[in-house]
Amino acid sequence: MRSLPLIPPHKKNRKKALMKAMVLTGPGRSLVLSLLEKPNPGKHQLLIKVRACGVCRTDLHIVEGELKEPKLPLVPGHQVAGMVESLGSEVKHFKAGDRVGVAWLGKSCGICGFCLSRRENLCDQASYTGYHLDGGFAEYCLAEEGFAFHLPMGYSDLEAAPLLCAGLIGWRALRMAGKGKRVGFYGFGSSAHLLAQVALSQGREIYAFTRDGDVESQAFARERGAVWAGAAGEKPPCPLDSAILFAPVGAHVPLALQAVGKGGVVVCAGIHMSDIPSFPYSLLWGERILRSVANLTRQDGEEFLGLAGRIRLKTRVNAYPLEDANQALEDLRRGKIRGSVVLNIVPA
């Protein structure tokens, strides 16, 4: 990828098609609005005209240097909703004009033990969208045919984009949490506000834990069906069957273990988390389970997007233009957002 300065339209090189993109040039730096050469698809790839791209905490971790192996320079963004503009010569399952989504897992090796046992999310040779591969903070992006999804009907591009990470990772975490009735969500943001709707459709009860004093998030959680909402340090009114940590705060792990009953499951859903403090064995005893969720599989995507086609999930969208991606990240960092952050690449 070659980063170019912004060029006035009358000075553009008309021999090469260009696109706008927000580019990360190094950890801890603001994204730079740039003109890049529009990519061409390889034989198994789709060229996607991006219409919307979600912004999540993983993007923050990449930009801030907490995830330490990004391709640089890099176009972030791994919740891509768009339309196929052109395709490679050997693409079989998509056509120009199809509405598609691209998620975090951009490619896996397909031959290792993890891939062959349907655990491609653990593949050591995997490449990730918006981390190893240029993502959707741009007017166009590429995707491997085998790692793109048909999007469900009934969602606008802005509404569909958060389904591709907040929804998919949340879905995997909810499945890993087991089938217990009482589920705690630590952090009530993009993932939680979608997964609460799924859990309620399954007859579960949601208990929401937020930052101390964050009454707005607690009210938002109750609005989305939580039977109880309080601060992360509070004890819920009854023992929980499971808890999912969406907030990347290691100190919440002992709190969640205290909140679940015997046999309860605590799932850490983030790709990055601050250090977990030591805690007494008594919090884990009683066959409690502490586990992480790593990435996602294509099966997760097919299952969740199929579910989203049957259950109309209400996505609360906070939309920003592409050029305001840095402000979107800052607002997310400061906890100002209720629901999902999405870049509106092609305004409706």
Q: Does 301 reside within a domain?
A: no
For residues 125 and 13, state if they share a domain. Answer: yes
Strands (E), the chain: 18-23, 32-37, 45-55, 80-87, 99-102, 105-107, 127-128, 140-144, 148-150, 182-186, 205-210, 228-231, 240-245, 260-268, 289-292, 317-321, 340-344
- Residue 340 tokens read as 């999902």
Look-up of token digits 């192996």 = 69
Q: How far apart are CA 9 and CA 24, in angstroms?
A: 23
Under the banding of pLDDT at 50, 70 and 90, the label for residue 346 is confident
* Average pLDDT over all residues of the chain: 94
Q: In this model, does residue 347 exceed pLDDT 90?
A: no
Q: At what angle do helices 190-201 and 166-176 cross, to 10 degrees?
A: 50
281: closest CA among 254, 259, 249, 260?
254
- If one counts every other C-beta atom within 10 angstroms of the C-beta of residue 184, the result is 26
Mind listing the pLDDT tens digit for each residue in 106-159?
A: 999 999 999 999 999 999 999 999 999 999 999 999 999 999 999 999 999 999
Q: Does 31 reside within a domain?
A: yes
Q: What's the length of the chain?
A: 348
**CB of 330 within 8 A of CB of 60?**
no
For residues 158 and 225, state if they share a domain. Answer: no
Q: 212-221 as b/e, with b when 16 or more CB fall inside 10 Å?
A: eebeebbebb
- Say which CATH number the domain at 256 has: 3.40.50.720
Strand partners, 102: 80, 148
Q: Does 302 reside within a domain?
A: no
Q: Does 41 reside within a domain?
A: yes
Mind listing the pLDDT tens digit for each residue in 194-214?
A: 999 999 999 999 999 999 989
Q: Does 310 reside within a domain?
A: no
pTM of the model: 0.91
Mean pLDDT score, 322-341: 94
Q: Does 14 reside within a domain?
A: yes
267: closest CA among 289, 250, 286?
289
Q: How far apart are CA 53 and CA 75, in angstroms?
A: 12
Per-residue pLDDT at 2 = 45
Does 4 or 293 have the greater pLDDT score? 293
Under the banding of pLDDT at 50, 70 and 90, the label for residue 336 is confident
CA-atom Rg of the chain in angstroms? 20
For residues 194 and 268, state if they share a domain. Answer: yes
How many domains does the chain fold into? 2
Strand partners, 268: 245, 292
For residues 148 and 178, state if they share a domain. Answer: no
For residues 115 and 140, state if they share a domain. Answer: yes
Q: In this model, does residue 317 exceed pLDDT 90?
A: yes
Under the banding of pLDDT at 50, 70 and 90, the label for residue 9 is very low
Mind listing the pLDDT tens digit for each residue in 240-249?
A: 999 999 999 9
Per-residue pLDDT at 249 = 95
Q: In this model, does residue 310 exceed pLDDT 60?
A: yes
**CB of 102 within 8 A of CB of 129?**
yes
Q: How far apart are CA 340 and CA 159, in angstroms?
A: 9
Domain that holds residue 247: 168-292
For residues 85 and 217, state if they share a domain. Answer: no
Under the banding of pLDDT at 50, 70 and 90, the label for residue 223 is very high
For residues 156 and 186, state if they share a domain. Answer: no
CA dihedral over 12, 16, 17, 20, signed as positive or negative = negative
Q: Does 300 reside within a domain?
A: no
Mean pLDDT score, 267-271: 94
Look-up of token digits 């630590």 = 186
